Structure 1
């Protein structure tokens, strides 16, 4: 006997999810308990990551130059604080305007959620955070913005990495695979593909249609994200200096591209919390093109520790700002 048509199955799934949401809303204590459990799991995985990375990074940090270490951590923080502006611009292109404080909170919640195994937690956490802190109920558009943000960031990272090879030679990287991946993402953002695919996926969440981001906005954001990878390149450059290496300033674009490749690999390795292991392996291999094995390993460990520490710190800042805002309104 034939089953129900394939087109009805997603609708049935959505109805079940909507029923589950109504049940949870009718039981606020259960909902709060589940939210507390999820936050505890997220913080637990994050604490595990910090402890593991600290034990690996500490032997290298003992001999590092404190000034350059501080500059590298500060630059990583600047990268995140600037990166948020791109997401705000994407949301505003779709008519959703939020404050920087709200965007910071949502972004940092999603950054910590990536320490949970599985790739679904990051966009889900951001959508939930916006709903709770800014009453943004257009979840499909928020999810679409997360995808477009990730796609543009990845494409720009591949662009920066490819251009940087004009200054750095003897790099053993799957360049054509990276370019093919960037082309695939760019094709998904093309209006003729984005519109029907977005309609098919987002209608399951109750949204009939979503317009592609205007080309001028898309182009501007692509250049913007290229700039963010250069900021990331300066962070890695300072890390190399802190460990006694002497890379030239011309290596900054390459180092930004290395960070981008590591981030892409981490996203694709969704089965690992925050892509731990996959990012480090790719970054270490690429750094060998400009430095020795010792500094490359040290920077790889230091970079992982810096990312986690800065994400936790910015999350704490976002929570503090949220509490101060609530007290002010009260």
Structure 2
């Protein structure tokens, strides 16, 4: 009994401390918004500088700078496919964003779809800065402005992120195994990837992992319990998002080819496996935005599709530029939308 009373007092004290911190934080919100803008812009600028001085791109044509090579290839590409690639990418992100909104509502948080998606898209810009915590902090801040408890926002953000990555790994494993069914070596590799992807989604592993990742943002706060069906539903929903990212990758490869392959389910699924595997590997690598890790894997898979290392390098870097530009455009529009507080979370 004494232990239970002590725990309750600790939780209440922690809750009061966090509530006090967030009250003080609101006073500094205008300054923090300006600071956030500068940090993100600096991160994105550094990010693009890395791309435009890429040694891999320079090796494809020593007579031109990497920036000139990328610019010339972009001008020669079909603009319709490039615009479509950006639209497909943002559409794919929406599936994970909607899943996060669903998690918040399941946890009793009063948030609208519009406000939730606004926080989700803008928070993605945080991944271009060093460290893995800024996206979660951004989501917490914007969700708190809509009446969501910071601990609830952090927990559901970690839950959504891990579910999306687990779905990507599962999708990649299944599709690679299906595509290489006649190659025993690749089948075993696909099965190994499937096992690695399957272990984290086991209830005894997944739930403690979520709470551990969100613990630094939720200390002392009572956390909501999410329904058991949230994970399987999330895997299905976010898997649909990966299909859109695969279609976006296929659109980029089409834009760079003189005689592109026609749109087909097979081509899109093939690119979905490549996109999912590279994206998840970049997440595990914990570099800002997965930079470097994602590009290496993408390039290896795109060489046979595009017929050489040079076009594969261009496609990989162009994909990165398009996806980043799409995120900036979406965040730039959504940032100025008003946030209406629907009430406080109970």
Global fold match (TM > 0.5): yes
1:314 aligns with 2:325: no
Unaligned runs of 5+ in 1: 1-7
Separation (CA, whole Å) in 2 of partners of 1:155 and 1:115: 21
1:146 pairs, out of 141, 144, 157, with 157
CA deviation profile, 1:103-143 (whole Å, cap 9, x unmatched): 122112211111110011111111111112x0212x22211
TM-score (ref. length: structure 2): 0.76
Structure 1 counterpart of 2:173, from 162, 185, 203: 162
Is the contact between residue 49 and residue 308 of structure 1 (CA under 8 Å) also seen in structure 2?
no
1:28 to partner: Cα distance: 4.0
Deviation of 1:319 (Å): 1.6
Is the Cα–Cα contact under 8 Å of residues 161 and 254 in structure 1 kept in the other structure?
Answer: no
Residue 102 to residue 77, structure 1, CA distance change in 2 (3 Å): same
Between the aligned partners of 1:66 and 1:192, the Cα distance in structure 2 is 45
1:25 aligns with 2:24: yes
Two-structure CA RMSD over aligned residues (Å): 3.6
Question: Deviations for 1:225-267, whole angstroms, at most 9, x for unmatched residues?
Answer: 1111111111111111111164462121221122122221222
Change (3 A) 1:64 1:123: same
Q: Report the Cα distance in structure 2 between the residues aligned to 1:26 and 1:145, rounded to whole angstroms.
A: 21
Query: Residues 240 and 295 of structure 1 are in contact (CA less than 8 Å); yes or no, is this contact kept in structure 2?
Result: no
1:47 corresponds to which residue? 45
Q: Which residue of 2 aligns with 1:255?
A: 271
Task: Number of aligned residue pairs: give it.
Answer: 308
**Stretch moving more, 120-129 or 34-43:** 34-43
CA distance in 2, matches of 1:231, 1:253: 10
Contact 1:237 1:255 in 2 (8 A): yes
The separation in 1 between residues aligned to 2:209 and 2:71, in whole angstroms, is 50
Residue 107 (structure 2) pairs with residue 108 (structure 1): no
Q: TM-score, normalised by structure 1?
A: 0.79
Q: Which moved more, 1:290-299 or 1:219-228?
A: 290-299
1:63 paired residue number: 76
* Cα drift, residue 24 of structure 1: 8.5
Cα drift, residue 275 of structure 1 = 1.9
Question: Tell me, which stretches of 5 or more residues in structure 2 are unaligned?
Answer: 1-6, 53-66, 342-346
- Indicate the residue corresponding to 1:76 in structure 2: 89
